[in-house]
């Protein structure tokens, strides 16, 4: 099976029972990703020790994190640190869920990405020139291959394509174009000797008899 876009990947993920996947496309005003995670995490979680990211297996239990290289890494070689106060895990869990998902959500099982209370990333507005360029590129795709690509916004699909005259205006050569260089390796101009200037060839000239 070939998957060409994030949207197609989400469609396949959502075929799994009890799974709801969402593609957080920051260019889509309805699905931009969220920002402000650092402030939320710093509010409730302790900073991890240096070097913990060198491990590939992370276990978290009751606020205590155990980081190992592999599943076979012995306990004495693992990095163990407290992410939160082990005596306050229940209260911290409730506080994080409340700040992240709002008052209406009391457990993680009730939460979804639609409940996230964090600010959304600001979307970038495309200029009219960029929209025309995207429209021209999109409609240059052969129709038989369009199904590989996600549907484009109406603003791109309906953007006027540059006419031949407009294209000529943007690609005209300057009034004083440089002469076209001949193909091949450029020739170096030989430096002319000044009067009475010694040349290196004099050092290799035959010795006078």
Residues 40, 110, single domain; the answer is yes
Distance of CA 96 to the CA centre of its chain: 28
> How far apart (Å, rounded) are the C-alpha atoms in residues 17 and 6?
19
What pTM was estimated for this model as a whole?
0.47
- The answer to whether 69 and 77 have CB atoms below 8 angstroms apart is yes
Residues 39, 75, single domain; the answer is no
Range of the domain at 57: 46-83
Q: Does any domain span residue 174?
A: no
**pLDDT, position 203:** 54
**pLDDT, position 177:** 54
128 contacts: CB under 8 Å, gap ≥ 6:
159
Residues 26, 7, single domain; the answer is yes
Query: In which residue ranges of the chain is pLDDT below 70?
Result: 1, 26-32, 152-181, 190-209
> How far apart (Å, rounded) are the C-alpha atoms in residues 32 and 208?
87
User: 34 pairs with which residues across the strands?
Assistant: 120
Report the candidate in 94, 92, 86, 126 with the shortest Cα–Cα distance to residue 111.
Answer: 94
**pLDDT, position 209:** 46
């Amino acid at each position: 099976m070939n998957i060409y876009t994030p949207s197609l990947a989400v469609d396949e993920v959502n075929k799994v029972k009890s799974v709801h996947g969402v593609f957080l496309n920051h260019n889509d005003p309805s699905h931009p990703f969220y920002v402000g995670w650092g402030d939320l995490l710093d509010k409730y979680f302790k900073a991890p020790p240096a070097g913990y990211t060198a491990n590939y297996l992370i276990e978290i239990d009751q606020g205590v994190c155990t980081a190992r290289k592999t599943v076979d890494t012995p306990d004495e070689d693992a990095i163990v640190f407290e992410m939160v106060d082990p005596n306050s895990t229940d209260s911290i869990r409730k506080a994080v869920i409340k700040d992240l998902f709002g008052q209406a959500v009391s457990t993680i099982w009730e939460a979804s990405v639609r409940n996230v209370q964090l600010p959304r990333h600001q979307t970038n507005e495309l200029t009219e020139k960029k929209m025309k360029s995207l429209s021209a590129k999109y409609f240059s795709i052969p129709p038989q291959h369009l199904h590989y690509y996600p549907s484009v916004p109406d603003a791109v699909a309906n953007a006027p394509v540059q006419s031949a005259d407009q294209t000529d205006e943007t690609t005209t050569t300057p009034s004083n174009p440089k002469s076209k260089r001949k193909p091949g390796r450029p020739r170096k101009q030989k430096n002319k000797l000044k009067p009475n200037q010694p040349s290196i060839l004099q050092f290799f000239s035959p010795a006078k008899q």
